[in-house]
Every structure is written in C-alpha cells, then in structure tokens.
Chain A
Amino acid sequence: GAGVSQTPSNKVTEKGKYVELRCDPISGHTALYWYRQSLGQGPEFLIYFQGTGAADDSGLPNDRFFAVRPEGSVSTLKIQRTERGDSAMYLCASSLYQPQHFGDGTRLSIL
C-alpha cells in the first residue's frame, strides 16, 4: 500500500519567505508527527496530531512554525519569515499504533 507521502521533496527559497510543506499520511492512520533532521543528527520532534488536533506542539522552535491538519488526514507545516537556520530535512510520520512510519521528507534550503 501507499506510504507516507511528502511534497515537495526539495524546496529552495530565500530568507524571509513563507513556505508550506505537505504530508499525506498512510490511509487510516490517526496519528501524525512532524520531525526535523539536521545533517548528521537524528530527527527531532516538532509536533504530534491525534486526529485533527495538535496534541503536543512542544517541539516547535518558535512562533514562526505552525502546523495544521484540518480534516484529520493531510497535514501542512507552515514556516513564516524563514531563516537560514531553518534549513533541514523535514520528516513526517504517521501511525495507528507504534511504530511510526516515515515519509521520504522535504529537504528545505533557505538561501
């Protein structure tokens, strides 16, 4: 079956711009997670959705980052006023139970 799908696979933008990253989870998975992975590091938790609501957004680094999941399926991670330090791989995962199943990620580069 289809896995977790993330688009775009790569995003290059200028500092200060707004970006949206999309995640389409595995069908039927109620839980959705966003992680950020810097080069040479493990993924770091950003936010967790159970259904439509953000159950834990404690990993979002600041208020420039926001995520939604309005219908309990597709999620969008939104970053305002991007900074060079936001450059990383953004991973989405979904699950019904554990383990979490990861998508291929969006590589975000801020110039």
Chain B
Amino acid sequence: ELKVEQNPLFLSMQEGKNYTIYCNYSTTSDRLYWYRQDPGKSLESLFVLLSNGAVKQEGRLMASLDTKARLSTLHITAAVHDLSATYFCAVDMGSNYKLTFGKGTLLTVNP
C-alpha cells in the first residue's frame, strides 16, 4: 500500500523567511504533484513532477523530486501572506490516474 507522508503538518512562518515542506512516499513512483487548497475551496494544481531530478519554480515556490530517495520538497522563498494555505503532495503509483495524497501542510504566513 502506498503511503505518502508530509512534514511538517503545521507551519507558521514570518513574512520574508524561507522554509521547506517535505513529502516522502513509500513505493517507487516517478510522478508527483503539488496542490494548494485555500479554506473552503478546491485544490489548485501547482506543480507536476514527472521524472527524477525534476525541478520546477513558480514565483516564490520551487518543487523538486528525487525518485531514488522517494522524496519531494516544496521550498518557499521570502514568504508572503498570500501563500497561506494548505499544501498537498500527491503520488501516482504508475496508474496515471489514482492519486494518493498526503495529509497536507497547513501554512500560515504572519506579517
């Protein structure tokens, strides 16, 4: 059974600081996704990582994938309040459709 673990589950940061969210998964996969969810809203796709060593950046967020370590990271640079949300990683175990999600990281950026 595929398990996806995120840490930390709760993250409170100050504006302007940097931090990294980690996503570990238990079986071989080379497809990993990051989503953002605002309270009461649906999930918004942030990054699609499809191969070992993939790195993608959008604004203050950068995601990377190490399939050998079964690890993805979401790095936040110079956080701003608008980044406050819950961030989920999700792994596809080769089916190309069935995503297994982590529990999410609730990020709060304080002024």
Contacts and interface: CB of A to CB of B under 8 A. Distances in A.
Interface of A: 4, 31, 33, 35, 40-45, 48, 50, 55-56, 59, 91, 93, 98-105
Instruction: Give the size range of B's interface with the partner.
Output: 20 to 34
Contact of A100 (B41, B45, B100, B103): B45
A43 B98 contact: no
Contact of B45 (A48, A91, A99, A103): A99
Given A104-B41, A104-B42, A99 B97 contact: no
A48 B33 contact: no
Contact of A56 (B35, B92, B98, B103): B98
Residue in B35, B42, B48, B92 with the greatest tally of chain A CB atoms within 10 Å: B42
Contacts, number: 55
B48 A98 contact: yes
Contacts of A98: 31, 33, 48, 92, 96
Contacts of A42: 4, 88, 90, 101-104
5 contacts: A42-B104, A44-B101, A93-B43, A98-B48, A102-B35
